[in-house]
């Protein structure tokens, strides 16, 4: 920036028509403003600025506990970089809380009292109840809604976004396709709104992120420059970002770990200990890797050792909502839907629904027996198999029934 100023002043000092130029540089909210008494100088500076990108506008689509925790990070980070506009819009599904609109509560108290109570959001995070109003002028869309609602949120945006808008999905799950297949959520978003979509997955329990307890996360992005932009937008000293290009494997890890965590919750509900849960985690990881090998060939084994893989799996199996609700499912005999209302304040559980989607595809392709843990968890969620069936599943898992000859020589 200083080089542009000096060059312009030097030009005018040689121009006989401009014997004197007065110029002022001032800071306005992270951007920079020039004012000058010379029209020629103003034109020169204006021309220089036309080649610079305007600050990127950010919109967060979703305001649950995870969406609100991310809004806390993003709202603080945009003020630290000139490449971002200082205002962050957050699409909020409108609800009435004690007679007041949730958006009005957020915009006046700077707190999502329903989904992230007790945590203050930056004042530059603005809650908007209309999805098109929130997103139409955004340069970056952050998708963080339950995967069951992706179509409902994205369809109004089709053909209404800016040409160079990019997106990043924090959504864990799949979408069912006709014919028995499943579609990654990032691919579904791309189909619906025609923008490139990266993904973010990791061992990131929303409450701990909001409390600013240290954690890691993984961003899957094939474009280096866009990946750097996301890192600037999301990384903090307590929320560390690693960017990899194995996008599909990152996203699959984020979806499948919720199935395994549901199984871990069943084990807790049955009263078995950490040894048994460790067996579920290990076998679950094996099936996650096999799933990627079968359906997303080319995935890198190393991706499973990033935060999106084994770290997220362990965290979710010990501390996540899928584990907690699955434990209550066994102990109380209530349905998943009843427990969602009681324990999650109405938020949707991802594990059982993802198990349904995965089983739909496995059944269509005749592969249920190749993924016995995923299959058993799905059957228990539907009450087609009693919870103790989990023990028989892991006891008789193919990993335990193979020929040991090659290991004993």
Active site residues: 257
Query: CA-CA distance, 381 to 336, in Å (whole number)?
Result: 7
Is 402 annotated in some ligand binding site? no
Q: Is 149 a known ligand-binding residue?
A: yes
What dihedral angle (degrees, nearest 10) is formed by the CA atoms of 182, 187, 190, 195? 180
The answer to whether 67 is a known ligand-binding residue is: yes
> What SS3 state is found at 244?
strand
Flag whether 155 is marked binding.
no
Q: DSSP label at 149? A: G
Q: For the CA atoms of the chain, what is the radius of gyration?
A: 25
Distance CA 274, CA 366 (A): 33
Residue 206, marked binder: yes
Backbone dihedral region of 47: left (phi > 0), alpha (psi from -120 to 50 degrees) or beta? alpha
CA 179 to chain centre: 28
Helix (H) / strand (E) element for 367: namely: none
The verdict on whether residue 34 carries a ligand-binding annotation is no
Say whether 138 counts as a known binding-site residue.
no
Pairing of strands 23-28, 31-36: antiparallel
Helical pair 247-270 and 321-332, crossing angle rounded to 10 deg: 30
222 in a known ligand binding site: no
Q: Is 63 flagged in the annotation as binding?
A: yes
Q: Are 385 and 275 in contact (CB under 8 A)?
A: no
From residue 154, how far is each of 149, 191, 280 by CA, in Å?
9, 10, 36
Report the C-alpha gap between 202 and 252 in whole angstroms.
12
The response to whether 64 counts as a known ligand-binding position is yes
C-alpha to C-alpha distance for 260 and 254, rounded to whole angstroms: 11
Rounded CA-CA distance 152/161 in Å is: 16
Q: Please give the Cα distance from 54 to 337 (Å, whole number).
A: 46
Tell whether residue 231 is among the known ligand binding residues.
no
Binding site for substrate, by residue number, is 172, 321-322
Binding site for NAD(+), by residue number, is 62-67, 149, 206, 321, 348, 350
Binding site, by residue number, is 62-67, 149, 172, 206, 321-322, 348, 350
């Amino acid at each position: 920036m200083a080089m542009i100023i000096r060059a312009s002043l030097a030009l005018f000092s040689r121009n006989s028509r401009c014997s004197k130029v007065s110029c002022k540089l001032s800071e306005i909210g992270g951007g920079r403003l020039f004012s000058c008494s010379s029209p020629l100088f103003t034109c020169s500076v204006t021309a220089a600025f036309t080649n610079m990108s305007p600050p990127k506008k950010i919109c967060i689509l979703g305001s649950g506990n995870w969406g609100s925790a991310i809004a806390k990070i993003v709202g603080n980070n945009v003020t630290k970089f000139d490449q971002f506009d200082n205002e962050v819009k957050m699409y909020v599904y409108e609800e009435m809380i004690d007679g007041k609109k949730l958006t009005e509560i957020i915009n006046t108290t700077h707190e999502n009292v329903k989904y992230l109570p007790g945590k203050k959001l930056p004042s530059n995070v603005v809650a908007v109840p209309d999805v098109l109003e929130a997103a139409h002028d955004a340069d970056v869309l952050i998708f963080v809604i339950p995967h069951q609602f992706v179509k409902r949120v994205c369809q109004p945006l089709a053909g209404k976004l800016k040409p160079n808008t990019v997106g990043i999905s924090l959504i864990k799950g799949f979408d069912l396709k006709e014919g028995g297949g499943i579609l990654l959520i990032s691919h579904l978003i791309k189909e619906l709104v025609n923008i490139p979509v990266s993904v973010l997955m990791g061992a990131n329990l929303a409450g701990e992120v909001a409390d600013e307890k240290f954690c890691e996360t993984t961003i899957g992005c094939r474009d280096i420059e866009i990946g750097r932009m996301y890192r600037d937008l999301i990384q903090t000293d307590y929320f560390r970002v690693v960017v990899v290009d194995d996008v599909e494997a990152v996203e699959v890890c984020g979806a499948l770990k919720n199935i395994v965590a549901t199984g871990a919750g069943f084990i807790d509900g049955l009263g078995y200990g950490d040894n048994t849960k460790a067996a579920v985690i290990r076998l679950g990881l094996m099936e996650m890797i096999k799933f990627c090998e079968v359906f997303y060939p080319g995935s890198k084994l190393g991706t499973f050792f990033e935060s999106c893989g084994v770290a997220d799996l362990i965290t979710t199996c010990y501390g996540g909502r899928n584990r907690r609700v699955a434990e209550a499912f066994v102990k109380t005999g209530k349905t998943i839907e009843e427990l969602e209302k009681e324990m999650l304040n109405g938020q949707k559980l991802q594990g059982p629904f993802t198990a349904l989607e995965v089983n739909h595809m496995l059944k269509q392709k005749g592969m249920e027996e190749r993924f016995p843990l995923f299959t058993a968890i799905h059957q228990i969620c539907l009450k087609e198999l009693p919870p103790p069936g989990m023990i028989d599943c892991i006891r008789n898992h193919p990993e335990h029934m193979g020929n040991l000859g090659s290991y004993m020589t």
